[in-house]
Amino acid sequence: MAKKRRETDDEDEEQEFKIPEFDRKAYLREEIRDSKAILLSCLLALPLGLAAVLLTVYVHFALGLLVGLAGFGLMKPMWGLARLDLTGFDWKKWIFNIGTYFFTFLVVWILLLNPPIIDVSPPVIRNVQVAPFAIGDPLDAVNWTNVPGTNTHVAIANGTGWAVGAIISDNVRLGKNPVLYVGSLANAPNDMNYTSSTGTYIFISADARPIGQIITIRAWDGDNRMTSYEFSLVSG
């Protein structure tokens, strides 16, 4: 009786491990469906990326990002219009398509917001310094003091004159030379001249130190976007 049971078990095992037939047509339909879903996800990112650029430039950055996130909710309706059969479309495929859409959107959004297409970045004013200055002294002999930040006070020692220096740059180019105002912006501006040896724009005055007055540096890029930097001088 034991021998018969072993033979029966062997027959059951042989029947249990039969290789299923490969459904080639079903496989191709699924692959074509998945490829169309990816292509449509990329195509959806193009107009939304362009809309995000326009909103970023003319309204606010947050609205551009909101348009990109809204695309997540448009993917399934768009696939429905394309009559894609989503039977068997599991969560892994959803994540892959969401990622494909969003990264394509980011590429379109970021590329169009940068030169040479569009420049949305104003000039940068940094490493601002002040110093007492004796007219005729070489610039490298000036005892520069760093300005700690915009809208701050900085002490300057007495001298026959005074000077202000700053590194001013833009991601494309400056539209014109930066200027410096002493006191009110209604006063005539003073040009700041570029010094290649130090890579800074410098203003030098033979007048007395304008203690207590606001010093304003302004710079413009080629599209007339302006950056302003203000500080005031105190006696050192």
Sketch the domain layout of the chain as residue ranges. Answer: 22-112, 124-235
Tokens 């007495």 sit at which residue?
Answer: 158
CATH topology of domain 124-235: Immunoglobulin-like (2.60.40)
pLDDT in tens, 106-158: 999 999 988 888 888 899 999 999 998 876 677 766 788 999 999 999 998 88
pTM: 0.68
Burial of 91 (0-12, 13-18, 19+ CB in 10 A): exposed
Which CA distances in Å does 20 have to 11, 14, 23, 65, 121? 18, 13, 9, 48, 61
pLDDT at 23 over 90: no
Tell me which residue of 157, 126, 124, 154 sits closest to 143, measured CA to CA: 157
The pLDDT value recorded for residue 197 is: 75
Q: Mean per-residue pLDDT for 181-191? A: 94
Half-sphere exposure of residue 126: CA atoms within 13 angstroms, side-chain side: 6
Of 14-28, 34-48, 57-71, 107-121, which range is least confident? Answer: 14-28
